[in-house]
Structure 1
């Protein structure tokens, strides 16, 4: 069903992943059992997988479904199933399985019982207990000084030609236990996945394959709370983007809100659990650490409104929980990100905007950009709504006044009569750019004056951003456009979502639906990639990304809800 060479094999709640190396260290055609803890600077290889017969490797073809990875060879096969978050079960018929440890200093293997070996993988800060249920374990792990020179595990069939082994990860003490059979474990995982896919947003039938892929990616990319992760966290990918970033999580939260509101709330709140006393949110977090060198744009007010519009789960109690942190996050931008004191907040690096290498940053930073002010205008509107719901009338009035004041200043500062521009903070030098980021203020919808709104819509529709596949992030006619230029050309899911939502807010339903249609058609064909070639629609970079999956599901659901558009539009975002 899925291609394991692109889509990692894993499951909800697990840090265990099976995939090829991809770009890190070069591809060698092999599959690896990985531990995706500790951030994306470490690919996390634990064992290289081979099938063997008579002690020699044999070639195989992988087949993958949500609950099962099968490696097929002439006269035999091996199957892998992550039956629990920390348990990988392996079954083979007619062949053995060789696991070659990717080891470093201090790694060792030790026999701890009949057909049971512990592999202490200090490089990955994890221990693995290997238990033979059928067949036997043959270990080649000569110890020298402080480590085993190598760790090669052969899982070999018994007289029945079958082999069944359980690998369980743990950190301190292994506690002997029983395990369900391989077939029963797979059945349980399959049922769990079926329950998940039933809750995934529905889309038109023509995108059914895309929905299945997006559903699997989002399900399999959730990891359990551990270390710095205070809640279940949907990673961006289990390929190599093995963290959660502080605006990516917003799109995943919105896609979960309708049918899995508790998990959606966890995705939304996880960064506020880590918030600095200054109000700043970290750039990303994993089980080990949070990165504070950068942050991401304040789309959280916009996100929160989209969540509560879909579910009653966001009660007054939860609004009270988020009100203070959201206010502090807003104040951080207004207080600490305005070095020239002109009342217009700035980005100190492209990474802070989420548009890392956009052409608005090509002359250096800090940069004042209209998208940032737009997000904060909306965020203050949402804070006013929350304050009102909580009976804080004075604070609601204050937020509304500040929102209106920032909107007025933003238009005066950035609108040149024809378009929004970006400026260097301090000098206010205009930065010439053909980036789509300058059209993100459409997110303000009818808060914008009619003339400005109409020109933004015309630019999105007719200037050249809109290709057959969706919205390029840099005009294809720009001298800085690159097919695989990250934020200098490729189509991205989050920017598509922001523009579509803005167009709906502006009353431009037809254009919004057309952009959604083009994006969904492309993603259904090319997969849930990190981004896409704007002209060909081919997937680029990481081929299994959760925010792409979430945006695809939301836009597809929008299209399904509005299939009767010609006979009377009924347009909502979700």
Structure 2
């Protein structure tokens, strides 16, 4: 990543070019770990779907900044900018462009149907996969249609030449003919102003000391979509690559990163999964445009999250939603007569394949109890009356005491099979997550956890599996790589537990990791290489959270 006068310059193989509110972006990434030779318009309505290929008529260099995408060579250039969330303008000088269907096959149930609209002369792709239309209006130059209204494998699209300009729109069934009046330069300037205002709001503290802050802000801004389908509010997707959902703990970190500068948008992030809370009080595992999954849940870090958000716009409603979510764990995830809750699978913890779950799948873990203690503390704070406050305080004390009595063996926290009752320890960082309780833990427990966390710390941050473990894998998902959420939770817990030196070290190493390797879903703990999805918003948020806190500490 480099920084130019127009903002950070980034690779489309790492981060898609998009715009706040849009459901589509531009990228060569067309599926999970699948990279095309050409830049594609990729829509995320009903899933991740490559729609159009944008192929310059000569070899070019592609440059992306937050407000403009450019193909260029010695003879000319093509520029693309968003005019609105569903409309882009594209302008060419000295370079032609082939704009083709990404899917070359048309059947009644797949591929695009391409035709020229007799109403306004525009060219339209209607696409089965997204259920949307993509209209191309020629504003200047020449357009040669290819394969209009053709079935089978005929190449379909346009070839643009001369000094040309087009508008490309994503819409449903019909809309008035395109009538944009602004020059392309004005469109690009307005897009830059939109992003600059967002960056100024979420990272007003950014400077040369925080070189990745502006790009982190862009990752959040560009991954935001407007309400549509099951997305009930303006939402920051986890990515506009293939991880194009909102998972019910990922959203918490995005909410915190937005909280100081854009509190309304932050609360939208926090509340979105609660819009789909089920009858039992559980949050869905994930929500996206056309799908809600309830087969798993995610860990109850929402009480911890509320500590980092501004005052709730509706305190009573926030209490009600959090109470239902907490009661789900107390009623549906505790065996009769037991004090400690259980996960039904590693996926429920968010640490899908952590080694903690190797012996058994239905497990009482210390992290879950710790998160619920924090959540019940928050319910006590939000409670409508003193009696309710006292009830939640008593329940939080009882669970904390059970955690220490039943899962602390004098040296470390263990996990316990919900069916078998047997206990075991692992070399997973998950076992150390009760540090999130911070000052609530006895001093010897804090010290022991801090010592074990130190053993997980690599040059880039805390590895999720002990690097000396036989189970460690460089690209093992939760069996080795560094992740943003565990880093932020641990850093916060250590700081509140009084281990500020270790917290400072973790913060500094993770921030340096993002500045070196971007905002990947996770990172190789030995090399720092970014792994999996490379434009993950909770990683960008973690950088912003840690950088903002570091800047605040240094300014006092």
Q: Is the TM-score greater than 0.5?
A: yes
Query: Structure 1 residues 251, 238: closer, same or farther in 2, change over 3 A?
Result: same
* Residue 221 of structure 2 corresponds to residue 219 of structure 1: yes
Q: Hey, what does 1:154 align to over in structure 2?
A: 158
Structure 2 residue aligned with 1:26, among 28, 34, 44?
34
Matched, 1:432 2:425: yes
Write the distance in 1 (CA, Å) between the matches of 2:363 and 2:63: 48
Number of residue equivalences: 541
Equivalence map 1:475-514=2 (5 Å): 475-514=466-505
Q: Which moved more, 1:490-499 or 1:147-156?
A: 147-156
Cα deviations across residues 359-409 of structure 1 (Å, max 9, x unaligned)?
A: 01112310111000000000000000001xx3x111111100100111111
Where do residues 63-462 of structure 1 align in structure 2 (5 Å cutoff)? 63-103=63-103, 104-106=106-108, 107-113=112-118, 115-141=121-147, 143=149, 147=151, 149-157=153-161, 161-179=162-180, 180-202=182-204, 205-308=207-310, 312=311, 314-315=312-313, 318-339=314-335, 341-387=337-383, 390=384, 392-461=385-454
Counterpart residue number, 1:540 = 531
Structure 2 contact 219–537 (Cα < 8 Å) conserved:
yes
Q: Secondary structure at the match of 1:156?
A: strand
RMSD: 1.7
Residues in 2 aligned to 1:431 and 1:181: alpha-carbon distance in whole angstroms: 66
Offset of residue 539 of structure 1: 1.1
The counterpart of 2:520, out of the listed 529, 532, 550, is: 529
Point out where structure 2 has 5 or more consecutive residues left out of the alignment.
1-8
Question: Residue 204 of structure 1: CA displacement?
Answer: 6.5
TM-score (norm 2): 0.94
Which digits, 9 at most, give the CA deviation of each residue in 1:101-133, with x for residues without a partner?
123423312221454122211222111111100
Residues in 2 aligned to 1:150 and 1:449: alpha-carbon distance in whole angstroms = 71
Contact 2:474 2:480 in 1 (8 A): yes
Q: Is the 8 A contact 2:483 2:523 kept in 1?
A: yes
Structure 2 CA distance for partners of 1:515 and 1:394, relative to 1, 3 Å? same
Residue 340 of structure 1: how far off its partner (Å): 6.1
After TM superposition, the structure 1 = structure 2 runs for residues 51-70 of structure 1, keeping only pairs within 5 Å, are 51-52=56-57, 58-70=58-70
Deviations 1:329-381 (A, max 9, x none): 00111111124652211111111100010001112310111000000000000
SS at structure 2 position matched to 1:327: helix
CA contact (8 A) 2:77 2:94 kept: yes
* SS of aligned partner of 1:95: coil
- The worse-fitting range, judged by mean Cα deviation, of 551-560 and 423-432 is 423-432
2:451 and 2:503 map into 1 onto residues whose CA distance is 13
Q: Which residue of structure 2 aligns with residue 55 of structure 1?
A: none
**Distance of 2:10 and 2:146 partners within structure 1:** 34
Which residue in 2 is equivalent to 1:556?
A: 547
**SS in structure 2 at match of 1:271:** helix
CA distance in structure 1 between the aligned counterparts of 2:185 and 2:440, rounded to whole angstroms: 57
Q: Are residues 204 and 516 of structure 1, via their aligned partners in 2, closer, same or farther at CA, if it must alter by over 3 Å?
A: farther
Instruction: Tell me, yes or no, if the aligned pair for 1:468 and 1:518 is still in contact at 8 Å.
Output: yes
Q: Is the 8 A contact 1:211 1:553 kept in 2?
A: yes
**How far apart, in 2, do the equivalents of 1:22 and 1:137 lie?**
26
Once the two structures are TM-superposed, the CA of residue 563 in structure 1 deviates from its matched residue by: 2.4
Question: Which structure 1 segments of 5+ residues have no match?
Answer: 53-57, 565-569
Q: Is this contact kept in 1: 2:206–2:214, CA < 8 A?
A: no
Give, in whole Å, the separation in 2 of the partners of 1:105 and 1:535: 48
2:87 and 2:36 mapped to 1: Cα distance? 26
2:554 partner SS: coil
Residue 207 of structure 1 and its aligned partner are, at CA, apart by: 4.3
Contact 2:249 2:298 in 1 (8 A): yes
Q: What residue is the counterpart of 1:6 in the other structure?
A: 14
Instruction: Tell whether 2:48 aligns with 1:47.
Output: no
